[in-house]
């Protein structure tokens, strides 16, 4: 006789909520069904160890698609359930879990992704895609009868006898019309690949199809073999010493579908103070805008949980690709809980530390190789330093600066070579200047001046570099004496310590202002070591960075102006002449020419200015020819 009953706890309130919340991640129902099967088998193995059930070795979970009948079956040969257990576990416990979940997690406005879709809602997630769910189960316990449980809405159910004869459980999902995609073999396959690729029990996918009638004289077609969809021994669970480089690479290609070779990898293998296993790969980063989306996969006991959970994996490590398995992670709780959880924080710190240590060992032990992939990893390392002071502390000596000539130096090496006098803490020479270029083509002339003095110019040409320099100068990475100056900012080491005559400077400033019609032009006077160059436009480093920043943020269209000056070389004959001669058309032209040339050394002239420049150049040549 069939027994009827009602599920007691506020099912009417909860079911719609579950359905709505999980909508974006509907496919987790399959993970829940399959992992319940794996759990049932795990329990069976425990019983077998104590001799309660016979030992066997063909434990498996089968996922069977039957598009004719419109069902998806999940079959396991685990411990099964007694009628009583079905009533207790299926009809009650899951709901109490859901209630707790509701209490702990209050979704924020517009939040529907991330961890919310990954709660162990368990069995009831089946109703997200089903019109009816049937359980046929036979418990391992001697003398028990097989039972059938059936429910259309997850709210009321019917129980009766089942014809199942083998120990274990079959869950039959009668897939609803709008979820028909789960009756397609490839959808089911890709969902299994997503969530179940590394589950600890063998999982097979097959399709129930009426066999075609054999044609005359032919053998009956054989049913297709079920295909195995998972790897029960993921690489991260092996001991690092037992894994070859080839295996690491193969795993990388397979799991991340990235056919580039990874640069290197870190095998995390901790049992104490927490259980954490995983492999993190440093991918080749093609450009700094590549977002690190969906790349660090989090597993809980070989069950896929989510990509990129930033509470566990520090955000800056999201540029890496990898798999992390934390069996002890309390995943059935809300994101805000994870954020405040000391355990999670420690784990995240541990991962960061491992990554930093690996970078340092690459740097110290394989500097050549490290230099080769520095171009790939530097945005990540710099970003990490800015985001995490502890990470910076660990890696700071392994940070490289690439010079415009393509060599690599640490900051210490740069300073030792380029500012030897600054190395001793001399109060009078408080600054240690690192000279850099942000655009080596445009700054070629200035770079050349430095090179002529035997100075190295480093390349700071990516988005992160401005922030990184500020971080080293003023941020947590602060070194009071260290200053970065662009090649057009400082003229450090390019000029002699020669006092300029202020009256001469004033005179020249007046002259240039008049000739150029620029009343606010600032003119500076110094003695360049290079005697060929009459003048240069110099830009104050700080004001330029501020200006760049305000442009980047685009705040209200307001742009901070950068402080520029025309710096004249008082040793140059042309400047000397301008300082000595009176006013005149030629002097005006020379001033304009000096200015235009200085500008052109930085960037191309606007078209009108270019036309004027060309005209003037020809005039000067003509004058020259007439005088010769
Ligand atoms: P959880 O797996 O987190 O305990 P579920 O809602 O997924 O929650 O399952 C509730 C309970 O139902 C399980 O703890 C288990 O006792 C029982 N159960 C579910 N599926 C199976 C199965 N395939 N075989 C045996 N027991 C099962
Ligand atoms: Mg479960």
SS3 assignment, position 433: strand
- Which backbone phi and psi does 465 adopt, to 5 degrees? -65, -40
Q: For residue 123, give the ligand 1 atom closest to its CA.
A: 6
CA 242 and chain centroid, separation: 29
CB atoms within 10 A of CB 139: 21
SS3 assignment, position 122: helix
Scored b (16 or more CB within 10 A) or e, 358-394 reads bbbebbeeeeeebbebbbebbbbbbbbbbbbeebbeb
Give me the CATH code for the 3-209 domain, please: 3.30.565.10
- Quote the CA–CA distance of 167 and 153 in Å, as a whole number: 27
Q: Tell me which residue has its CA closest to atom 15 in ligand 1.
A: 89
Which ligand has its closest atom nearest to the C-alpha of 168? 1
Give me the CATH code for the 400-486 domain, please: 3.40.50.11260
C-alpha separations of 153 from 14, 32, 108, 172, 462 in Å:
11, 17, 27, 14, 56
- Quote the CA–CA distance of 309 and 320 in Å, as a whole number: 13
pTM of the model: 0.76
Entry field: residues in the chain: 628
Contacts for 486 with CB less than 8 Å, ≥ 6 apart: 435, 436, 437, 438, 443, 460, 539, 541, 544
Q: For residue 122, give the ligand 1 atom closest to its CA.
A: 7
Which ligand has its closest atom nearest to the C-alpha of 121? 1
- Interhelix angle for 502-516 vs 585-600, to 10°? 90
- Quote the CA–CA distance of 265 and 243 in Å, as a whole number: 12
Contacts for 170 with CB less than 8 Å, ≥ 6 apart: 73, 74, 75, 76, 134, 135, 136, 137, 164
Label the pairing between strands 303-307 and 321-325. unpaired
- Which backbone phi and psi does 205 adopt, to 5 degrees? -110, 135
Report the residue among 29, 38, 39, 195 best suited for mutation to probe ligand 1: largest number of ligand atoms under 8 A from its CB. Answer: 39
C-alpha separations of 290 from 122, 304, 418, 440 in Å:
35, 24, 35, 24
Alpha carbon of 612 to ligand 2 centroid (Å): 78
Scored b (16 or more CB within 10 A) or e, 210-224 reads eeeeeeeeeeeeeee
Q: For residue 168, give the ligand 1 atom closest to its CA.
A: 24
Are 513 and 591 spatial neighbours (Cβ–Cβ below 8 Å)? no
CB atoms within 10 A of CB 268: 20
Contacts for 126 with CB less than 8 Å, ≥ 6 apart: 29, 32, 33, 133, 154, 171, 173
Alpha carbon of 333 to ligand 1 centroid (Å): 18
Alpha carbon of 106 to ligand 1 centroid (Å): 25
Domain ranges of the chain: 3-209, 235-365, 400-486, 502-538+555-627
- Quote the CA–CA distance of 266 and 284 in Å, as a whole number: 15
CATH architecture of 235-365: 2-Layer Sandwich (3.30)
Q: In the chain, which residues have pLDDT < 50?
A: 23, 93-120, 292, 294, 333
Ligand 1 pocket, residues with Cβ under 6 angstroms: 32, 36-37, 39-40, 76, 78-81, 89-90, 93-94, 120, 122-123, 169
Q: Tell me which residue has its CA closest to atom 14 in ligand 1.
A: 89
Strand partners, 175: 130
Which ligand has its closest atom nearest to the C-alpha of 169? 1
Give me the CATH code for the 502-538+555-627 domain, please: 1.20.120.790
Which ligand has its closest atom nearest to the C-alpha of 37? 1
- Quote the CA–CA distance of 593 and 370 in Å, as a whole number: 47
Helices and strands in the chain: count of H runs, count of E runs: 19, 22
The candidate with the shortest Cα–Cα distance to 122, out of 150, 156, 89, is 89
Is the fold of 3-209 the same as that of 235-365? no
Label the pairing between strands 535-539 and 227-228. unpaired
Are 429 and 481 spatial neighbours (Cβ–Cβ below 8 Å)? no
- Quote the CA–CA distance of 466 and 473 in Å, as a whole number: 11
Q: For residue 171, give the ligand 1 atom closest to its CA.
A: 23
SS3 assignment, position 234: coil
- Residue linked to tokens 């200085």: 598
Q: To which H or E segment does residue 133 belong?
A: strand 130-138
C-alpha separations of 584 from 222, 431, 515, 589, 618 in Å:
102, 43, 10, 9, 18
C-alpha separations of 88 from 7, 83, 140, 601 in Å:
10, 9, 17, 81
Alpha carbon of 306 to ligand 1 centroid (Å): 21
- Quote the CA–CA distance of 304 and 198 in Å, as a whole number: 8
Q: Tell me which residue has its CA closest to atom 16 in ligand 1.
A: 89
Instruction: Give me 424's structure tokens.
Output: 């001793």
- Quote the CA–CA distance of 265 and 279 in Å, as a whole number: 7
pLDDT at res. 94: 46
DSSP 8-state symbol, 1: -
Are 576 and 534 spatial neighbours (Cβ–Cβ below 8 Å)? no
The candidate with the shortest Cα–Cα distance to 16, out of 114, 88, 103, 102, is 102
Alpha carbon of 98 to ligand 1 centroid (Å): 13
SS3 assignment, position 366: coil
Are 173 and 130 spatial neighbours (Cβ–Cβ below 8 Å)? yes
């Amino acid at each position: 006789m069939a027994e009827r009953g009602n599920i007691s706890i506020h099912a009417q309130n909860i079911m719609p909520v579950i359905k709505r919340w999980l909508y974006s991640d509907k496919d987790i129902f399959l993970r829940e069904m399959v992992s319940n099967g794996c759990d049932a088998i795990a329990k069976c193995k425990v019983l077998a160890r104590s001799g309660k059930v016979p030992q066997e070795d063909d434990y498996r979970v089968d996922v069977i698609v039957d598009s004719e009948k419109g069902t998806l079956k999940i079959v396991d040969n685990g411990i099964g359930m007694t009628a009583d257990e079905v009533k207790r576990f299926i009809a009650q416990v899951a709901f109490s879990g859901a209630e707790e979940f509701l209490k702990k997690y209050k979704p924020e406005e517009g939040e529907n992704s991330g961890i919310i879709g990954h709660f162990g809602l368990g069995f009831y997630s089946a109703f997200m895609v089903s019109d009816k769910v049937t359980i046929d189960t036979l418990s391992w316990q001697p003398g028990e009868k097989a039972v059938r449980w059936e429910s259309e809405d997850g709210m009321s159910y019917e129980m009766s006898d089942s014809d199942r004869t083998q120990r274990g459980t079959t869950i039959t999902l009668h897939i609803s019309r709008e979820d028909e995609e789960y009756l397609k073999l490839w959808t089911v396959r890709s969902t299994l690949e997503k969530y179940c690729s590394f589950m600890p029990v063998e999982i097979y996918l097959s399709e129930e199809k009426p066999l075609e009638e054999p044609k005359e004289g032919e053998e009956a077609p054989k049913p297709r073999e079920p295909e195995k969809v998972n790897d029960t021994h993921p690489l991260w669970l092996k001991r690092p010493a037992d894994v070859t480089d080839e295996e690491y690479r193969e795993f990388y290609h397979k799991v991340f579908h990235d056919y580039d070779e990874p640069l290197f990898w870190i095998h995390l293998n901790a049992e104490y103070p927490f259980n954490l296993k995983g492999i993190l790969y440093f991918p080749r980063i093609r450009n700094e805008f590549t977002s690190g989306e969906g790349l660090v996969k989090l597993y809980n006991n070989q069950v896929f949980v989510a990509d990129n959970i930033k509470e566990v994996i520090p955000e800056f490590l999201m540029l890496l690709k990898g798999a992390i398995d934390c069996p002890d992670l309390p995943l059935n709780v809300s994101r805000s809980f994870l954020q405040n959880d000391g355990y999670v924080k420690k784990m995240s710190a541990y991962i960061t530390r491992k990554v930093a240590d690996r970078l340092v060992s690459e740097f110290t032990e394989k500097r050549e190789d490290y230099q080769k992939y520095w171009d790939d990893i530097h945005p990540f390392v710099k970003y990490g330093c800015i985001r995490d002071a502890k990470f910076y502390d660990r890696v700071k000596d392994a940070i490289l600066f690439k010079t415009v000539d393509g060599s690599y130096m640490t900051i210490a090496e740069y300073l030792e070579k380029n500012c030897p006098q600054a190395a001793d803490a001399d109060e009078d020479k408080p600054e240690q200047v690192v000279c850099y270029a942000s655009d080596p083509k445009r700054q070629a002339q200035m770079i050349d001046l430095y090179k002529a003095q035997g100075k190295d110019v480093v390349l700071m040409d990516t988005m992160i570099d401005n922030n990184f320099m500020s971080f080293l100068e003023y941020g947590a990475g602060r070194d009071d004496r260290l200053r970065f100056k662009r090649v057009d900012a400082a003229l450090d080491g390019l000029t002699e310590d020669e006092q300029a005559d202020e009256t001469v400077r004033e005179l020249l400033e007046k002259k240039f202002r008049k000739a150029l019609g620029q009343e606010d032009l600032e003119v500076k006077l110094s003695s360049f070591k290079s005697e060929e160059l009459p003048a240069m436009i110099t830009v104050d480093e700080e004001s330029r960075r501020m200006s760049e920043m305000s442009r980047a943020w685009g705040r209200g269209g307001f742009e901070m102006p950068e402080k520029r000056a025309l710096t004249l070389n008082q040793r140059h004959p042309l400047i000397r002449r301008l300082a000595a001669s009176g006013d005149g058309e030629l002097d005006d032209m020379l001033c304009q020419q000096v200015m235009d040339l200085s500008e052109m050394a930085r960037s191309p002239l606007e078209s009108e200015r270019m036309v004027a420049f060309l005209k003037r150049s020809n005039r000067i040549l003509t004058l020259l020819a007439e005088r010769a």
